[in-house]
A = this chain, B = another copy of it.
């Protein structure tokens, strides 16, 4: 089964949630217009359907190979990667001066959504390179940008993020990889990192590793870390590729999913010389740079939750339309019918479809906030959008990936027994998706980020601002359809109550952290509703007709009626705080 890009759904989210037309009016995007962006979507859809998607199952089946020195990705990825890079799909988000299209993140996210649905394992290579590029753009020197960005934009080189160590997972500050200064002003890195996606592979000759390491005078904890660029191949003075750096692949993981994407253990200095690195940004300031990269990456992982749910859902719909079983309730003739006509199956499909529309709205709304935080012509507006973007990012990541995994499980249920057979293909989506609530900061970490940093750290400012805008959306929606407006307002009120509870816990940190996850789930559930509603309101105001509005309105109504009410089950979980949480000892909890 392939993938069909849901172009109408993507365009609705792009036009009316991301409000791309408005973004393209910003000075930074003078070189683009909606006609051009529309062509990019159409072209990308065709490219993903024809070139990327066919590599997905092949990549899962073939897996990666490691010969003890080098890693090879599935053969099908090579040709796809050359076409992908050749057509410039990896360069959409790069500035024009480095060979990119200079597109808003929101437009880039729409294209990435399709690529991720087409093949998540494949997509990680170019999108990790994009993350490295984003760090260099913001923290690199002019010289670094000139040396590295064109090759990253063209896809000639790729990049990785090397953060985790066996003893330093969520606790990044426990990192022991260290760096020393050399006489010529350079650095040598020694240590090991694990879970390095595309840490080695044969899609590009050169790989740029961004490595967190501690200098001898770096204070303990995460704030003593510096960021280094460690190339796989040393660069000759003329910029050409030289011999291998002292970076060794110690192993490749055998994973539940993402079989096509190598996950490596890398050692620096294993051969005795030390891995040559160059500093990115300031010494001891590495964690800030890494956070920038991770924040971008978190939006990207939220997008993965959406994109895989979309893939699973469309396969489930196709199956449910083809699979004939039983006689649906209310069929007078008693004829057997496709299972999509059975109420319980239709419930699953409507729940998936409406939830996916809400997730897409959240992802594109977050991307828009980031675009405006960076490109708005007004400094106050940039500051306000930065707060909004920072508020939404962890929830975009956690809610879209938790819900994504759940919806993919729902899609499996639609397939019944066939879902358990690997040939059907849906099991791969289930396996691949399970990492998304974990990597780039587990969803527990996202919840703590939301509660402790984005909420309490800001005294609730950005959250209150969001709640006001969601209330305003409910009011506008109510003018269009009173029932919908009332339903949304009810959800927003529950989030308001929950937010007040959380803000009251600045002296009860344990209660705050104990309820961060249900609070974030509640937040995401309301954010999905308000973001989708904002799109409907915008489209309505823009004079969109029923051919554009009928589906989003039907999905919004279903979401408000059957998904949003979950908030009533979540609020008590927030209210309870940490009561009873430590009523049993660790020993009592052990079998």
- Give A residues with C-beta under 8 Å from B: 4-6, 9, 164, 167, 169-171, 174, 194-195, 253-258, 310, 314, 317-318, 320-321, 324-326, 329-330, 336, 338, 340-350, 353, 405, 409, 412-413, 416-417, 419-423, 427, 430-431, 434-435, 437-439, 442-444, 447-448, 509-510, 512-517, 550-551, 554-555, 557-558, 561-562, 565-573, 576, 578-584, 586, 588-591
Question: Assuming the A-B contacts A170-B325, A435-B420, are A557 and B569 also in contact, with contact meaning beta carbons closer than 8 angstroms in the complex?
Answer: no
Which of A345, A573, A589 has the most B CB atoms < 10 Å from its CB?
Answer: A589
Cβ contacts A to B, 17 pairs, < 8 Å:
A167-B324, A169-B325, A171-B336, A253-B420, A255-B422, A256-B419, A317-B589, A317-B591, A318-B590, A329-B513, A338-B586, A342-B513, A347-B517, A417-B439, A551-B584, A557-B583, A567-B569
Known: A329-B510, A416-B169. A568 touches B562 (CB 8 A): no
**Shortest distance in angstroms between A217's beta carbon and chain B's nearest beta carbon?**
22
Residue contact B572 to A565, C-beta cutoff 8 Å: yes
**B325 & A171 in contact (Cβ 8 Å cutoff):** yes
Instruction: State in angstroms the CA–CA spacing of A96 and B261 once bound together.
Output: 56
- Contact across chains for A343 and B580 when beta carbons are under 8 A apart: no
Residues of B within 8 A of A171 (CB): 325-326, 336
Distance in angstroms between the alpha carbons of A372 and B429 in the assembled complex: 44
Q: A174–B339 Cα gap in the complex (Å)? A: 14
Q: Which residues of B contact A443 (CB under 8 A)?
A: 413
Q: Contact partner of A562 among B169, B576, B582, B590, CB < 8 A?
A: B576
- Chain B nearest CB, measured from A403 CB (Å): 12
For the complex, give the distance between the alpha carbons of A344 and B446 in Å.
Answer: 11
Interchain CB contact under 8 A, B314 and A514: no
Do B416 and A438 touch across chains, with their CB atoms under 8 A apart? yes
CB neighbours of A167 from chain B (8 A): 324
CB-CB under 8 A from A437, the residues of chain B are: 413
Give the complex CA separation of A334 and B435 in angstroms. 30
- Do B569 and A325 touch across chains, with their CB atoms under 8 A apart? no
Which of B329, B430, B510, B550 is within 8 Å of A509, CB to CB? B329
Query: Could you tell me the distance between the alpha carbons of A419 and B517 in the complex, rounded to whole angstroms?
Result: 19
Bound CA–CA A591/B255 (angstroms): 30
Establish whether residues B330 and A510, one from each chain, have CB atoms under 8 Å apart when the complex forms: yes
Partner of A569, one of B348, B514, B570, B582: B570
Closest B residue by C-beta to A339: B170
In the bound assembly, the distance between CA atoms of A562 and B578 in angstroms comes to 10
Given known pairs A448-B344, A517-B344, A569-B567, the reply for A253 and B591 (CB within 8 Å) is no
Residue of B nearest to A560 (CB): B580
The complex places the Cα of A591 from the Cα of B352 at a distance, in Å, of: 13
Which residue of chain B is the closest to A344 with respect to CB atoms?
B444
Residues of B close to A580: CB separation below 8 A:
350, 554, 557-558, 561
Flag if B255 contacts A420 (CB, 8 Å): yes
Alpha-carbon gap, A430 to B430, bound state (A)? 10
Measured between beta carbons, the chain B residues less than 8 angstroms from A568 are: 568-569, 571-572
Complex Cα distance A346/B438, Å?
Answer: 17
Chain B residues, CB < 8 A from A169: 325, 416-417
**From A572, which residue of chain B is reached at the shortest CB distance?**
B565
Q: How many Å from the CB of A353 to the closest CB on chain B?
A: 6
Q: Are A346 and B420 in contact (CB under 8 A)?
A: no
The smallest C-beta distance from A258 to any residue of chain B, in angstroms, reads 8
Residues of B within 8 A of A325 (CB): 169-171, 174
Does the CB pair A513–B195 fall under 8 Å?
Answer: no
Interchain nearest-CB distance for A430 vs B (Å): 7
CA distance A550 to B589 in the complex (A): 12
Bound complex: CA of A581 vs CA of B329, how far in Å? Answer: 13
Q: Which residues of B contact A420 (CB under 8 A)?
A: 253, 255-258, 434-435, 438
By the criterion CB–CB under 8 Å, are A416 and B442 in contact? Answer: yes
Question: In the bound complex, do residue B582 and residue A4 qualify as a contact, i.e. CB atoms below 8 Å apart?
Answer: no
Contact across chains for B558 and A343 when beta carbons are under 8 A apart: no
Are A256 and B4 in touch, CB under 8 angstroms? no
Inter-chain contact B254/A344, CB cutoff 8 Å: no
How far is B439's CA from A500's CA once the two chains are assembled, in angstroms?
A: 45
Q: Is there an interface contact between B256 and A431, defined as CB atoms closer than 8 Å?
A: yes
What chain B residues lie within 8 Å of A557 (beta carbons)?
580, 583
Additional A-B contacts beyond A257-B420, A343-B581 (19; CB < 8 A): A170-B325, A170-B416, A174-B336, A253-B420, A255-B422, A256-B430, A314-B590, A317-B589, A340-B589, A344-B514, A347-B514, A347-B581, A353-B589, A413-B444, A551-B584, A557-B583, A565-B572, A565-B573, A569-B569
A118 CB to closest chain B CB (Å) equals: 13
Give which listed residue, B345, B422, B579, B589, contacts A444 with CB less than 8 A. Answer: B345
